[in-house]
């Protein structure tokens, strides 16, 4: 068996892992995830790189969850000749029906906007590239096959797949793949996908897996601990209260799937507990709106506390003035609000979508607050804000950063170092090999060393991108 890491090796985005095996007398190749690289010019170059093998030679794809850094290049893969099935959970499939067409639309809009600005002399540098079309997104959706949590199916002779709940976002899964290669002992490969925090908002705890020969584990926050949920609530209450008292707006860039719903739950819950006053909240993201409605559809998959809070809000709808923005004109009208608004908008790393317009209008005003609630990849606009840039370039113009910037890490959908170690301790014995992926170099290095020291597991590897490893 060979595993080749084509992304999320030495960085957080672009998750895609190739597995080569020989089963039933034939050589096979499958992918676990096929995500988009995000953040900076290098990401575009990597997204356009051809695979080191023909997409036509891939037998199937196992998709852990719907986030674009795990699913976002599936339409491009299908357009280039991959015709096999894409296995995912039911909620992941429903999210993909929202997210992949939205991704195609954003890419097309970015290109069209850049061309217009270039014609008027307001664009510098290379034009953005659309990685795939709306039609190609629909093509990928047509290749999806749904698999329920906890159900093991034989994908072909010698390969079985089972999804367990990763507790990260709606539909997120740990992929448990049992492989019986010809003339070799059966091996269990466990791909963590993205692991959620125990006791986090909305999602249940990640499922513990007791046995594996090979583990591929994420390390987004492998070098740090999150603030407690209690500390996070205190910090959020302080930012919201002080900003509203100062007649400012609160702008929250948030991933449309998962983070937006968590923030809504938390704000509603704080109002329910009389820790915040009546709030005026605008969710300005068509995808986030659709994802929120989808979350209600999969109500039974949420944790009990979240179910209770949303039931309370149904009975007390006037406690929070919550509005979902549909069209572009409504979105533009938000720019006229000079104070008292909480605007939640995508994208979570601030690199595309309506959030960029809200930042352009709100960053120059000192009474406003920007609340960062998720991981910001190197090279992204969100990362520059977190790193305290004095000004940023938006739509070809320099915008001063006078608004206060607040990073509230306790809302992360990813487990921190303690959470990852807790999940890994669930294995009854040391795996044969552990690959640490989906983290910036320092985070992966610290987690790998901590696994060696605290769990006393010997073969812990930080893979290099494009390298293959025999297991």
pLDDT in tens, 16-50: 999 999 998 999 999 999 999 987 778 989 999 99
Q: Are 304 and 270 in contact (CB under 8 A)?
A: no
**Same structural domain for residues 218 and 113?**
yes
**Same structural domain for residues 376 and 441?**
no
Q: Is the pLDDT of residue 409 over 80?
A: no
* Domain assignment of residue 295, given as a range: 229-411
Q: Is the pLDDT of residue 267 over 80?
A: yes
The span from the CA of 397 to the CA of 395, in Å, is: 6
Q: Is the pLDDT of residue 158 over 80?
A: yes
- Name residue 178's beta-bridge partners: 160, 188
**Same structural domain for residues 60 and 34?**
yes
**Same structural domain for residues 363 and 424?**
no
Of 289 and 371, more confident: 371
Residue holding tokens 């990813």? 414
Please report which confidence band the pLDDT of residue 292 belongs to, taking 50, 70 and 90 as the band edges: confident
**Same structural domain for residues 78 and 193?**
yes
Predicted structure pTM score: 0.87
**Same structural domain for residues 387 and 359?**
yes
For 184-189, which contacts have Cβ atoms below 8 Å and span 24 or more sequence positions? 184/1, 187/1, 187/213, 187/214, 187/432, 187/471, 188/212, 188/213, 188/214, 189/19, 189/213, 189/214, 189/215, 189/216
Q: What is the pLDDT of residue 237?
A: 96
* Strand arrangement of the beta sheet that strand 153-156 belongs to: 153-156, 159-165, 173-179, 187-191, 214-218, 433-437, 460-461
Q: Is the pLDDT of residue 63 over 90?
A: yes
Q: Which of 251-255, 286-290, 375-379, 403-407 has the highest mean pLDDT?
A: 403-407
Total domains in the chain come to 2
**Same structural domain for residues 404 and 420?**
no
**Same structural domain for residues 213 and 342?**
no
Neighbours of 360 (CB within 10 A): 15
Boundary residue ending a domain (382, 411, 440): 411
Q: What is the pLDDT of residue 80?
A: 97
Q: Is the pLDDT of residue 377 over 80?
A: no
Q: What is the pLDDT of residue 295?
A: 85
Q: What is the pLDDT of residue 379?
A: 82
Q: Which of 114-123, 130-139, 282-291, 349-358 has the highest mean pLDDT?
A: 130-139
Which CATH number covers residue 201?
3.60.15.10
Q: Is the pLDDT of residue 52 over 90?
A: yes
Boundary residue ending a domain (411, 440, 455): 411
Q: Are 110 and 352 in contact (CB under 8 A)?
A: yes
The per-residue pLDDT for range 306-351, each reduced to its tens digit, is 888 888 998 999 999 999 998 889 999 998 999 999 999 988 788 8
Neighbours of 296 (CB within 10 A): 11
Q: Are 305 and 266 in contact (CB under 8 A)?
A: no
**Same structural domain for residues 211 and 234?**
no
Of 236 and 347, more confident: 236
How large is the C-alpha radius of gyration of the chain? 22
Average pLDDT, the chain: 93
Q: What is the pLDDT of residue 29?
A: 98
The per-residue pLDDT for range 271-285, each reduced to its tens digit, is 999 999 999 999 998
Residue 186 buriedness (CB in 10 A; 0-12 / 13-18 / 19+)? exposed
Boundary residue ending a domain (384, 411, 438): 411
Q: What is the pLDDT of residue 126?
A: 83
**Same structural domain for residues 203 and 305?**
no
Q: Are 79 and 73 in contact (CB under 8 A)?
A: no
Which CATH number covers residue 386?
3.40.50.10890
**Same structural domain for residues 24 and 130?**
yes
**Same structural domain for residues 43 and 177?**
yes
Q: What is the pLDDT of residue 178?
A: 98
Neighbours of 416 (CB within 10 A): 20
**Which of 7, 1, 56, 79 lies closest to 36, judged by CA?**
7
């Amino acid at each position: 068996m060979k595993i080749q890491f084509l992304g999320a090796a030495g960085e957080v985005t672009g998750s895609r892992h190739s597995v080569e095996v020989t089963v039933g007398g034939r050589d096979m190749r499958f992918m676990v995830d096929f995500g988009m690289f995000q953040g900076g010019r290098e990401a575009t170059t990597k997204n356009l790189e051809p695979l080191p093998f023909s997409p036509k030679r891939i037998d199937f794809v196992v998709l852990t969850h719907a986030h674009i850094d795990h699913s976002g290049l599936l339409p491009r893969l299908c357009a280039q000749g991959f015709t096999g099935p894409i296995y995912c959970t039911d909620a992941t499939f429903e999210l993909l029906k929202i997210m992949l067409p939205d991704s195609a639309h954003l890419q097309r809009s970015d290109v069209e906007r850049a061309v217009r600005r270039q014609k008027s002399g307001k664009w510098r540098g290379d034009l953005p590239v659309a990685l795939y079309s709306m039609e190609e997104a629909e093509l990928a959706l047509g290749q999806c096959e749904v698999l329920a949590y906890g159900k093991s199916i034989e994908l072909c002779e010698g390969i079985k797949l089972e999804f367990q709940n990763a507790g990260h976002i709606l539909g997120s899964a740990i992929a448990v793949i049992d492989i019986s290669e010809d003339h070799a002992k059966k091996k269990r490969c466990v791909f963590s996908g993205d692991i959620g925090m125990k006791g986090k908002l909305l999602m249940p705890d990640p499922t513990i897996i007791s046995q594996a020969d090979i583990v591929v584990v994420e390390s987004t926050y492998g070098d740090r601990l999150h603030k407690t949920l209690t500390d996070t609530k205190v910090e959020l209450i302080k930012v919201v209260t002080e900003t509203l008292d100062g007649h400012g707006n609160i702008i929250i860039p948030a991933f449309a799937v998962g983070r937006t719903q968590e923030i809504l739950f938390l704000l509603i819950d704080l109002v329910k507990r009389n820790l915040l006053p009546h709030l005026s909240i605008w969710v300005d993201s068509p995808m986030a709106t659709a994802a929120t409605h989808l979350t209600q559809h999969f109500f039974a998959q949420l944790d009990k506390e979240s179910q209770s809070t949303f039931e309370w809000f149904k009975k007390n709808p006037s406690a929070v003035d919550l509005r979902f923005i549909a069209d572009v004109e409504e979105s533009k009208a938000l720019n006229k609000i000079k104070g008292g608004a909480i605007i939640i908008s995508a994208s979570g790393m601030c690199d595309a979508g309506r959030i960029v317009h809200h930042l352009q209008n709100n960053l120059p005003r000192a009474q406003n607050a920007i609340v960062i609630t998720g991981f910001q990849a190197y090279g992204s606009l969100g990362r520059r804000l977190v790193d305290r840039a004095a000004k940023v370039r938006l739509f070809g113009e320099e915008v001063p950063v006078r608004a206060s910037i607040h990073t509230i890490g306790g809302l992360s959908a990813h487990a921190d170092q303690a959470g990852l170690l807790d999940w890994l301790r669930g294995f009854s014995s040391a795996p044969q090999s552990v690959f640490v992926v989906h983290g910036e170099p320092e985070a992966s290095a610290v987690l790998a060393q901590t696994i060696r020291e605290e769990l006393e597991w010997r073969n812990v590897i930080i893979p290099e991108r494009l390298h293959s490893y025999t297991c």
